Chain A
Amino acid sequence: MTIDASPGTARDLDPITVEVIGAALESIVEETGEALVRASYSTNIKERRDCSTALFDTQGRTLCQAEHIPIHLGSFIGVVPKILEMHKVADMQPGDVFVGNDAYVGGGTHLPDIVLAEPIFVEGRITAWTVNLAHHADFADRGHAHIYQEGLRIPPVRLYRAGELQKDILDLILLNCQVPRERLSDLRAQMAANRLGVQRFQALCAKYGTDIVLSAGIALLDYAERKMRAGIATLPDGVYAFADVFENPEIHGELPVSVEITIAGDEMRLHFESPPQVRAGINMTYTALLATAYYIVKSVVDPTILPNAGLARPLTVTAPEGTLLNCVHPAAVNGRVQTCQRMSDVILGALAKAAPDRVTACSNSACTVATFVGQRKSDGSIWVYLETMGGGAGARPTKDGLDGVHVHVTNTSNLPLEALEQEYPLTLLRYELIDGSGGVGTFRGGMGLRRTYRADEDCRVRVDISRLRSRSWGLLGGGEGANGAIVCGPGVTFQRDQATLKAGQWFEVVTPGAGGYGAPEQRSKGAVERDLTESVIDVVTARDVYGVQI
């Protein structure tokens, strides 16, 4: 196998050219991301924007990425190298498009994230790759003992060959999907986004010269690395450890998880320990662990670092193979985002010991997901609706945490109620912040959310959540956030991680609050009074915890 890895001579470029081309690359991935969202059909992409787009160099290094959620930093990492491992570059032609999703041989992190990758040809040779990923809300109502239960595993194979659709492959994929019409439409949108990426990148090469564009790409990797190193260097050298437990409706008991961070000069090493992988969908692939580590370290040391492959160079991430945090075939991975969220807070807990003024208290440590599945009365077709919910964000050294937002590795929009009820037989009865759910402190932790649903037709609902038993910790005297909860209306029972709803029954998800920062006695009287006026806290808390008499 030969990889065309030579991007011409890496030329020394002036900083303005690097910046102009870097911005043009960013603009390409932003534009392709926007095209993907706008042309897609499924609510998960068109409204919730659970998708990302990127450009890679011929060695499979991320040149530029428009990630709408940080975990996609990891879902892309392995894709192009896997394609290059399995397919001969010499056989590739313009218009070839590879499709894949597998966590073990597809470079993905869980099966619903379907990746489409297309080589970009300039003057007869591959100069870069345009790649996009969309979370297809399918493969629902599955088991999660191992990955074979979780959906169709797709290795990187050609969906298009020289511009021609490989109908056999498409038919095979669609037969394994519960909502094939949406899958087909979303795949078309993904195709269109890549086509735009090819055109824009070729135009950029025509304008500046392929050598210059590729050299600028290399310079941008170095630039991200320099900024990452400069950021790490501002943290005090040392070894910092933190441990927490992880629990989830899918498993019994609590799993101990921990990290040990070693900071030495401008490099950082993160070593993770956790129990052996489990027969549940909460295992993380190594690429998901990498994405989590990249996200937190970038956020703490310098949020402005470009999300390209250069930022990874000063980081070493290790975890024993076959464990919860570095799982191997055939571990199930569908709900890995819960584990990523918990590990984000665990890393923050360790970094709090190095730089307490640059971190937050523990956020809600979850990405609460409710997936509804039913069969329409009208035509018998299956419908799948997936939504993710925000919760409290950790209090900060100088201000309160954000209320009811997505934290850490996710940041997807909610689906507007007026779109939700149009498309699915569900009615939303309440959507609100939960009084008193943010941890107390000089600065208050963010509040959790309540969403109350009524089923208008029979359906099943599955909930992925955490912090139902454990609580999000406060920092430097700050209090814990409130637990999450599942509340069932009359006649509804939540068993393990799911419930069956009859038409007319209701069901409620309460997401966890976040930890507070600093001793509550230090909170300003004005802030306590405002919280009271807005019923964010009650009179008893004001009096007993904050010492404010009203």
Chain B
Amino acid sequence: MERWRVGVDSGGTFTDICLFEEESGRVEVWKVASTPDDPSRGIAGGLDEGMRLVMPDVGEASAAAVSYFGHGTTVATNALIQHKGVPTGLLTTAGFRDLLEIGRQKRPDLYDMFADKPPTLVSRDLRLEVSERVRNDGTVEIPLDEDAVRAAGRKFKQIGVKAIAVCFLYSFVRPEHEARAKAILVEECPDVFICASHEIAPEFREFERLSTAVVNAYLGPVMHSYIARLAPRLTDLGMTATPHLTQSNGGVIGFETAAQMPVRTVLSGPSTGVVGAQAVGEVAGFPDLITFDMGGTSTDVALLKGGQCHLASEAIVHGYPLKAPMLDIHTVGAGGGSIAYVDSGGLLKVGPRSAGADPGPVCYGLGNTEPAVTDANVVLQTLNPVHLLGGRMAVRQDLAKQAIGRLADQLGLGVMETAQGIISVVTANMARAIRVISVQRGHDPRDYTLMAFGGAGPLHAARLAKELDIGRILVPRSPGILCAMGLLLTDLRADFAGTRLLSPGRGAADDVETIFAGLAARAESWFREEAIEPGQRRIVRTVDMRYAGQNYELPVTVPDGPVTAATLDSLAEGFAAAHERMYGFIAEGEAMQLVTYRIEAIGVVRKARLVPRPVVGEDASGAIRERRDVWLAEAQDFVSCPVYDREQLQPGNRIAGPAIVEQMDTTTVVLPGMTAKVDEYLNLILETA
């Protein structure tokens, strides 16, 4: 019986489906237009189509053979960027309702007096206070005023909030007050999404914990209704596997957890792309990568050195501090659907407004009249001027030309110069984004390979590489679905953590053992839920340690086996070594502290294995589909270019630019002076001569 592992990446414009059969190792990809009004429709439809593609005789229950379903989504991140969460209430300790707005009392920019903070997600009249106070040692100074909580609940209900966050001081030490307040609010507002800060981020620093809880509440109902629509659609297709969502750290969680903790998924989509890029890059022999994931509405870039992307435990996402492990990914609001316009100063600008999937660029013919980046490519004929998606979507070049013509009139330029201008502006935007993650962090992009993916990445990669002086571009075999593929290349992963201050003295061994036993029990039950075989289970234990008095901790790995006095000695040594490595000194005689205990539980899964193919030869002429006139800035004119069919390219093939390589999910531009060669994994490697 066939067992298919399916990865689905739902973006703003397209939904990508990657299918992998566990026994045979067969990999197939499929792509459908997203349905932004209800993304679950596009996902279920795409899954159905994809399964019928690989199992033509599947019958009614097309998804019955799905053994694993992994899903990356932009639902949470889009709602946060566009401030389209729900009306949210906040309950705080008396005297601290303004903390959400005050934050760390810093202004957003040292020198720009016109810079603003991001909007506060809960307006001041919806921030209510109740009398209660827990001290830092866990004692209760003022008991919770339950009547006041009840009154607040009634007020929230009367105003009609859709979500409530509860955040009290020291709830990470003693969560009882928060838990009780939440229980009362649940009674008073049974239909409202309610979360308490100790459930979301049980760590100290009240503002960051508060911010995380508020963002979680703000997104809760959005994620909840999304999952409530998606889950039954999958069941209707006969799927019995537990569906999973990617977290911002690249690992996955179940739908239940995601509905409770949407804040952990804000970088869900992009993180899977990085995981996919990491795997493809490793196999192809390029561990130092800059990933360039350009989609319809936004672009994500990340830097991998030696195959590793930096993992942050706390980050500021779209202006809001969030305590959740996240891959270090930089996002810009520009993509193939970004709209080009002339600003009040008479300059050509691109984005951040996007035509999205519906109506989409002008060339889709769905009623939009403002030209997007895609329209410029259609006019330049770098994109197929007749149809896209391997012939499945007709393109109206005439409409695109008219729209860019109107822009050209405003600028006093020709149509082709204007189309090329749109590409130049968007390339400069992308180059700036890449400088943020490379040169600004001390990495020279010239030392890296640019991995281009996402529907529009390979189309723009050559110009971008030229701008950044990058000599090599890697276009994976299925660049349009690398995110979806990433879901099949990573192990299942869940993190469990607890905080308790201990000194690593002799007496602590039993306490540490008990804490880890508790975490291990949670990990075990997760393993069982995920039906991970005992032989496939891995556990990594770490303790975040610091010198007493410091505020930042360093993770130290705990050796296997029971925790004994010898284990604690080894932790102390490990911490001293880590501190020396990180900061260049050991504070002799200073007391150390154990702070946060973490278990990383990994379910090792059978991954899609990329199989090398035998090298055939340099001659790629057999893959030429047609010749097309493409407008090139180098010639300031149309130049006849061969158009290659990516599916027909064989390992060892060489293509001299200028040329176009088309495939179902993307188009790659090879500029004059560049050579593209096909490696034995069918990756396309572009190099500057």
Q: Closest 6 A-B residue pairs measured CB to CB?
A: A303-B111, A534-B124, A430-B95, A23-B439, A27-B442, A390-B105
The complex places the Cα of A20 from the Cα of B202 at a distance, in Å, of: 41
- Are A67 and B442 in contact, CB atoms less than 8 angstroms apart? no
The answer to the question of A422 belonging to the interface, with a C-beta cut-off of 8 Å to chain B, is yes
The answer to the question of B170 belonging to the interface, with a C-beta cut-off of 8 Å to chain A, is yes
What is the chain B residue whose CB lies nearest that of A452? Answer: B95
Question: In the complex, which residues of chain A have a beta carbon less than 8 angstroms from the beta carbon of B136?
Answer: 418, 421-422
Which residues of A392-419 have CB atoms within 8 Å of chain B's CB atoms? 393-394, 396, 398-399, 402-407, 411-414, 416-419
Question: In the complex, which residues of chain A have a beta carbon less than 8 angstroms from the beta carbon of B626?
Answer: none
Question: In the complex, which residues of chain B have a beta carbon less than 8 angstroms from the beta carbon of A188?
Answer: 585, 587
Q: Number of contacting residues on B, CB 8 A?
A: 49
Partner of A418, one of B95, B114, B124, B206: B206
- Are A191 and B585 in contact, CB atoms less than 8 angstroms apart? yes
The complex places the Cα of A189 from the Cα of B590 at a distance, in Å, of: 14
The answer to the question of B109 belonging to the interface, with a C-beta cut-off of 8 Å to chain A, is yes
- Are A419 and B584 in contact, CB atoms less than 8 angstroms apart? no
Flag B568-580 by CB within 8 Å of A: 1 or 0 each: 0000000000010
Which residues of A1-60 have CB atoms within 8 Å of chain B's CB atoms? 16, 19-20, 23-24, 26-28, 31, 35, 37-41, 43, 46-47
The answer to the question of A75 belonging to the interface, with a C-beta cut-off of 8 Å to chain B, is no
Flag B586-608 by CB within 8 Å of A: 1 or 0 each: 01001000000000000000000
- Are A416 and B439 in contact, CB atoms less than 8 angstroms apart? no
- Are B111 and A70 in contact, CB atoms less than 8 angstroms apart? yes
The answer to the question of B469 belonging to the interface, with a C-beta cut-off of 8 Å to chain A, is yes
Secondary structure class of chain B's binding surface, majority of residues: loop
- Are A418 and B105 in contact, CB atoms less than 8 angstroms apart? no
Question: In the complex, which residues of chain A have a beta carbon less than 8 angstroms from the beta carbon of B452?
Answer: none
- Are A402 and B550 in contact, CB atoms less than 8 angstroms apart? no
The answer to the question of A360 belonging to the interface, with a C-beta cut-off of 8 Å to chain B, is yes
- Are B583 and A403 in contact, CB atoms less than 8 angstroms apart? no
The answer to the question of B1 belonging to the interface, with a C-beta cut-off of 8 Å to chain A, is no
- Are A16 and B469 in contact, CB atoms less than 8 angstroms apart? yes
CB-CB under 8 A for A418 and B169, given A27-B439, A360-B113, A533-B125: yes
- Are B107 and A407 in contact, CB atoms less than 8 angstroms apart? yes
CB-CB under 8 A for A414 and B98, given A46-B551, A70-B110, A535-B124: no
The answer to the question of A164 belonging to the interface, with a C-beta cut-off of 8 Å to chain B, is no
The complex places the Cα of A247 from the Cα of B125 at a distance, in Å, of: 36
The complex places the Cα of A299 from the Cα of B113 at a distance, in Å, of: 7
Question: In the complex, which residues of chain A have a beta carbon less than 8 angstroms from the beta carbon of B111?
Answer: 70, 295, 298-299, 303-304
Give residues in A with beta carbon < 8 Å to B. 16, 19-20, 23-24, 26-28, 31, 35, 37-41, 43, 46-47, 67, 69-70, 182, 185, 188-189, 191-192, 195-196, 200, 207, 295, 298-300, 303-304, 359-360, 389-390, 393-394, 396, 398-399, 402-407, 411-414, 416-419, 421-422, 428-433, 449, 452, 533-536
CB-CB under 8 A for A192 and B585, given A200-B442, A421-B135, A430-B95: yes
Additional A-B contact list (18), CB under 8 Å, known A24-B442, A69-B110, A416-B204 = A23-B439, A24-B444, A41-B547, A41-B549, A185-B549, A191-B584, A195-B584, A200-B442, A295-B111, A299-B111, A300-B113, A390-B106, A394-B113, A403-B102, A418-B206, A419-B204, A533-B123, A534-B124
The answer to the question of B99 belonging to the interface, with a C-beta cut-off of 8 Å to chain A, is yes
| Shortest CB distance A54–B (Å) | 15
- Are A23 and B135 in contact, CB atoms less than 8 angstroms apart? no
| Shortest CB distance A466–B (Å) | 17
The answer to the question of B392 belonging to the interface, with a C-beta cut-off of 8 Å to chain A, is no
What is the chain B residue whose CB lies nearest that of A407? Answer: B107
The answer to the question of B158 belonging to the interface, with a C-beta cut-off of 8 Å to chain A, is no
The complex places the Cα of A69 from the Cα of B107 at a distance, in Å, of: 11
| Shortest CB distance A320–B (Å) | 29
The complex places the Cα of A57 from the Cα of B141 at a distance, in Å, of: 56
- Are B207 and A189 in contact, CB atoms less than 8 angstroms apart? no
Partner of A46, one of B125, B439, B550: B550
Question: In the complex, which residues of chain B have a beta carbon less than 8 angstroms from the beta carbon of A23?
Answer: 435, 439-440, 442
The complex places the Cα of A19 from the Cα of B445 at a distance, in Å, of: 12
Identify 29 residue pairs between A and B in the complex whose beta-carbon atoms are under 8 Å apart, listed by A's number.
A23-B435, A23-B442, A24-B444, A27-B439, A27-B442, A38-B552, A38-B583, A39-B550, A39-B582, A41-B549, A46-B550, A67-B110, A298-B111, A299-B111, A303-B112, A360-B113, A404-B105, A405-B107, A406-B107, A414-B104, A416-B204, A417-B169, A419-B205, A421-B135, A429-B95, A433-B101, A534-B123, A534-B124, A536-B124
Question: In the complex, which residues of chain A have a beta carbon less than 8 angstroms from the beta carbon of B198?
Answer: none
What is the chain B residue whose CB lies nearest that of A182? Answer: B549
What is the chain A residue whose CB lies nearest that of B438? Answer: A23
The answer to the question of B96 belonging to the interface, with a C-beta cut-off of 8 Å to chain A, is yes
Flag B186-213 by CB within 8 Å of A: 1 or 0 each: 0000000000000000001111000000
Question: In the complex, which residues of chain A have a beta carbon less than 8 angstroms from the beta carbon of B547?
Answer: 41, 185
- Are B550 and A399 in contact, CB atoms less than 8 angstroms apart? no
Question: In the complex, which residues of chain B have a beta carbon less than 8 angstroms from the beta carbon of A24?
Answer: 439, 442, 444
- Are B169 and A299 in contact, CB atoms less than 8 angstroms apart? no
Which residues of B427-471 have CB atoms within 8 Å of chain A's CB atoms? 435, 439-442, 444, 469
Question: In the complex, which residues of chain B have a beta carbon less than 8 angstroms from the beta carbon of A67?
Answer: 110
Which residues of B67-119 have CB atoms within 8 Å of chain A's CB atoms? 95-99, 101-102, 104-107, 109-114, 116-117
| Shortest CB distance A536–B (Å) | 7
- Are B105 and A405 in contact, CB atoms less than 8 angstroms apart? yes
Question: In the complex, which residues of chain A have a beta carbon less than 8 angstroms from the beta carbon of B439?
Answer: 19-20, 23-24, 27
Question: In the complex, which residues of chain A have a beta carbon less than 8 angstroms from the beta carbon of B124?
Answer: 533-536
CB-CB under 8 A for A418 and B205, given A20-B439, A404-B105: yes
The complex places the Cα of A70 from the Cα of B106 at a distance, in Å, of: 13
| Shortest CB distance A288–B (Å) | 17
- Are B552 and A396 in contact, CB atoms less than 8 angstroms apart? no
- Are B205 and A402 in contact, CB atoms less than 8 angstroms apart? no
- Are B114 and A396 in contact, CB atoms less than 8 angstroms apart? yes
| Shortest CB distance B662–A (Å) | 33
- Are B442 and A413 in contact, CB atoms less than 8 angstroms apart? no
Interface centre among B547, B550, B583, by most chain A C-beta atoms within 10 angstroms, is: B583
- Are A534 and B585 in contact, CB atoms less than 8 angstroms apart? no
CB-CB under 8 A for A185 and B110, given A26-B440, A414-B105: no
What is the chain A residue whose CB lies nearest that of B554? Answer: A38
| Shortest CB distance B122–A (Å) | 11
Partner of B106, one of A405, A418, A430, A452: A405
| Shortest CB distance A147–B (Å) | 29
What is the chain B residue whose CB lies nearest that of A405? Answer: B107
The complex places the Cα of A223 from the Cα of B435 at a distance, in Å, of: 19
- Are B101 and A431 in contact, CB atoms less than 8 angstroms apart? no
- Are A402 and B440 in contact, CB atoms less than 8 angstroms apart? no
Question: In the complex, which residues of chain A have a beta carbon less than 8 angstroms from the beta carbon of B551?
Answer: 43, 46-47, 419
- Are A404 and B583 in contact, CB atoms less than 8 angstroms apart? no
Question: In the complex, which residues of chain B have a beta carbon less than 8 angstroms from the beta carbon of A31?
Answer: 442
The complex places the Cα of A26 from the Cα of B440 at a distance, in Å, of: 7
CB-CB under 8 A for A431 and B123, given A46-B551, A67-B110, A360-B113: no
- Are B116 and A399 in contact, CB atoms less than 8 angstroms apart? yes
- Are B105 and A433 in contact, CB atoms less than 8 angstroms apart? no
Question: In the complex, which residues of chain A have a beta carbon less than 8 angstroms from the beta carbon of B117?
Answer: 402
| Shortest CB distance A135–B (Å) | 16
The complex places the Cα of A112 from the Cα of B598 at a distance, in Å, of: 39
| Shortest CB distance A96–B (Å) | 16
The complex places the Cα of A207 from the Cα of B114 at a distance, in Å, of: 39
| Shortest CB distance A407–B (Å) | 7
The complex places the Cα of A419 from the Cα of B206 at a distance, in Å, of: 9
Question: In the complex, which residues of chain B have a beta carbon less than 8 angstroms from the beta carbon of A421?
Answer: 135-136
- Are B105 and A449 in contact, CB atoms less than 8 angstroms apart? yes
Question: In the complex, which residues of chain B have a beta carbon less than 8 angstroms from the beta carbon of A402?
Answer: 107, 116-117
CB-CB under 8 A for A189 and B442, given A46-B551, A431-B96, A449-B105: no
- Are B441 and A27 in contact, CB atoms less than 8 angstroms apart? yes
Question: In the complex, which residues of chain B have a beta carbon less than 8 angstroms from the beta carbon of A191?
Answer: 584-585
The complex places the Cα of A182 from the Cα of B170 at a distance, in Å, of: 25
Question: In the complex, which residues of chain A have a beta carbon less than 8 angstroms from the beta carbon of B99?
Answer: 431
| Shortest CB distance B312–A (Å) | 12
| Shortest CB distance B44–A (Å) | 42
